[in-house]
Chains A and B, each alone.
Chain A
Amino acid sequence: KQEVTQIPAALSVPEGENLVLNCSFTDSAIYNLQWFRQDPGKGLTSLLLIQSSQREQTSGRLNASLDKSSGRSTLYIAASQPGDSATYLCAVYTGTASKLTFGTGTRLQVTL
């Protein structure tokens, strides 16, 4: 059974700092991995989708990497801003189960 873990559960950083969010998964037989952002009381917004054949994806200040063999993905946020404050979730699509499994998220706060 696929398990997705995100550590830390919460993170606070000062504005301008570069930061890394972690996502690990137990079954490496994945098709893709997706990073989402969720603001309080809102739905999820897709940030980046990495296919299993890819090593990384970039969108603006965000860069997501994938190391399938070690069961890890990282989301790098450059020059963080207070507007980046949100919960970040990763989800993996596992081939053996044909389903998407979500992590519990990392709650990020960027302070002035």
Chain B
Amino acid sequence: DGGITQSPKYLFRKEGQNVTLSCEQNLNHDAMYWYRQDPGQGLRLIYYSQIVNDFQKGDIAEGYSVSREKKESFPLTVTSAQKNPTAFYLCASSISSGPTGELFFGEGSRLTVL
């Protein structure tokens, strides 16, 4: 089945550690996105990529990094510079990054900093 796979589903991190969240899609979509979801807030865009080897910062990129070496993969690293990393992280993709693209989401990864 086509879809987006995020792993791990749950992740615990000690302060000062970097962690990487995986996102893989087999939908043959060009555009991929990382969002952060906090209680009572709308989804906020961290980074997005329109094509392989290219990505742009979203609204809250500080303390995060990404790579897009393959079309199918868009991993997100939460670095120790991120002040408040405990959140639910969602990866999404669309056929293109333009306005007509319907967005498809993975199941999410919940990161907790101990």
Contacts and interface: CB of A to CB of B under 8 A. Distances in A.
Contact of A102 (B43, B100, B110): B43
Nearest to B33: A100
Given A42-B108, A43-B107, A99 B100 contact: no
> What's the interface size class on B, roughly?
20 to 34
Interface stretch (A45-53, A59-67, A68-76, A78-86): A45-53
B57 to A, nearest CB: 12
Secondary structure at chain B's binding surface: helix, strand, loop or mixed?
Answer: loop
A71 to B, nearest CB: 16
Given A43-B105, A45-B105, A95 B42 contact: no
Given A32-B99, A36-B103, A46-B104, 6 more contacts: A43-B108, A49-B102, A89-B42, A89-B43, A99-B45, A104-B42
Interface of A: 4, 31-32, 34, 36, 41-46, 49, 51, 89, 91, 93, 95, 98-105
Interface of B: 4, 6, 40-43, 45, 88, 90, 92, 99-100, 102-108, 110
